[in-house]
Amino acid sequence: MPAQAVATAFQRHFGYTAPLLVRAPGRVNLIGEHTDYNLGFVLPAAIDKEIYFAVGLNSGSEIRLVSHDLNDCCTVAIEQLHRTDTQWANYLLGVAAQLQKRGIVLAGFDCVFGGNIPVGAGMSSSAAVECGLAFALDKLLGTNIDKMTLAHVAQKAEHEYAGVMCGLMDQFASLFGRPSEVVRLDCRSLEYEYFPFDTQASRIVLCNSGVKHSLADSEYNKRRQECERGVHILQQHYPQVKSLRDATLEQIEAHRGEFDDITYRRCRYVVEENQRVLKACDDLARHDLAAFGQEMYASHAGLRDDYEVSCEELDALVEAAQQVPGVFGARMMGGGFGGCTINLVAPDQVDNFIRQVGAAYQQRFGRELETYQTSIVNGVSEAIVSEQVAPNGQ
Ligand code: GLA
């Protein structure tokens, strides 16, 4: 049991007991990719792949961090908070630095964390790490920060300490998730609405391409710049357009000649994807999974052809999924360039789906396909250690 494991490791490392235990989930995104930083719509959910934390104040002036999974540690003085060469630690230090920037007086703390969110698979392990610590520090320091602000703290940590200019989706989903519901966030107004997700009708299955993406790898930030370029062009004619969320296809078409081909296609994708999210939410509310799935396929096509963030493996996984009976929809998920596809599959077809897509993947790429059947869970919360620890201590 992970909460128990980090609690035990905490005691071993730091010699005192009763840390605060927190769990922070990763996320899936049903539709609405690369729309968050364009202030559009996303439809994520928190899932049962989680990071567990044991955190305690240490009455000193140091931050002492232990990665249980990497068997590595990192110590930094509060007075000299800085980015380090230890990548995993930067997500945590970045959160502490953001709190400090907001005028919160930090205290020395110890933290052990570990979990089961595959890294680089598009399930937002980094957001879970950030959000879990932000939540824990808020509790321990008694700062009573609201969840939306915590999401922004975590997002800023990613910007400044990991160098990825991400939107708000991942941090929002990790903090605001609710069991059995997906949540549509309007990234401009920050209004959100929950929609029930009926697992009797469909399961969420993730297929991991095994291709490790590195969002920091400039391409993600480059997409952001390309979108800003598009906004800049549109603003000359439509001053009310502050982000691609405000733009329409008609506006883009009317000035197509002023766009270079890449900027044109990036902008078109974002505007269409926002429309797809709204349409897909209507489909979901009407329990029309077939229609919802069509939006997912269209989303993938846009990400592949216009936004150009897919890869051969992801495309092959979506194509293979499309051949299997009982699949409503499939698309690449998250930042792209690797990671997972998300598939909505009829419950009685899940085993067959895994078999068929796995076989197709094996045949084409000579690699075994890792899949995850996920369920939708609550956002970041305190973790409960069950009384009964299994004999092997897990
Ligand atoms: C990453 C980012 C998110 C979002 C997605 C693409 O997961 O962290 O903010 O932009 O990519 O939708």
pLDDT tens profile 250-287 = 999 999 999 999 999 999 999 999 999 999 999 999 99
Q: Which string of b and e fits 47-71 if b means at least 16 CB within 10 Å?
A: bbbbbbbbbbebeeeebbbbbbeee
Going by CA atoms, what residue is nearest to atom 8 of ligand 1? 166
Contact 118, 125 (CB under 8 A): yes
The domain of 51 spans 2-197+378-382
Q: Does any ligand 1 atom lie closer than 6 A to the CB of residue 334?
A: yes
Q: What is the percent of the chain where pLDDT is above 70?
A: 96
Kindly state whether residue 390 falls inside one of the protein's structural domains. no
User: How many CB atoms are closer than 10 A to CB 303?
Assistant: 23
Each residue of 293-337: pLDDT tens digit? Answer: 999 999 999 999 999 999 999 999 999 999 999 999 999 999 999
170 is catalytic: yes
- Is there a single domain that holds both residue 212 and residue 351? yes
Pocket test for ligand 1, best of 36, 277, 340 (most atoms within 8 A of CB): 36
Contact 4, 385 (CB under 8 A): yes
The model's confidence at residue 390, banded by pLDDT at 50, 70 and 90, is: very low
The model's confidence at residue 215, banded by pLDDT at 50, 70 and 90, is: low
Going by CA atoms, what residue is nearest to atom 11 of ligand 1? 335
The model's confidence at residue 392, banded by pLDDT at 50, 70 and 90, is: very low
What pLDDT is stored for residue 212 in this prediction?
Answer: 84
Distances (CA, A) of 298 to 185, 204, 268, 274, 288: 20, 18, 13, 12, 16
Place of tokens 């489909």: 283
For residue 217, is pLDDT > 90? no
Kindly state whether residue 393 falls inside one of the protein's structural domains. no
- Is there a single domain that holds both residue 243 and residue 333? yes
Place of tokens 């005691």: 11
Kindly state whether residue 256 falls inside one of the protein's structural domains. yes
- Is there a single domain that holds both residue 187 and residue 257? no
Q: What is the C-alpha separation between 49 and 208, in angstroms, rounded?
A: 14
For residue 388, is pLDDT > 50? no
Mean pLDDT of the chain: 95
Higher pLDDT, 215 or 143: 143
Name the active-site residue from 170, 246, 283, 306: 170
Q: What is the CATH number of the domain that holds 113?
A: 3.30.230.10
Each residue of 35-80: pLDDT tens digit? Answer: 999 999 999 999 999 999 999 999 999 999 999 999 999 999 999 9
- Is there a single domain that holds both residue 140 and residue 238? no
Q: What is the pTM of this model?
A: 0.95
Q: Does any ligand 1 atom lie closer than 6 A to the CB of residue 335?
A: yes
- Is there a single domain that holds both residue 129 and residue 260? no
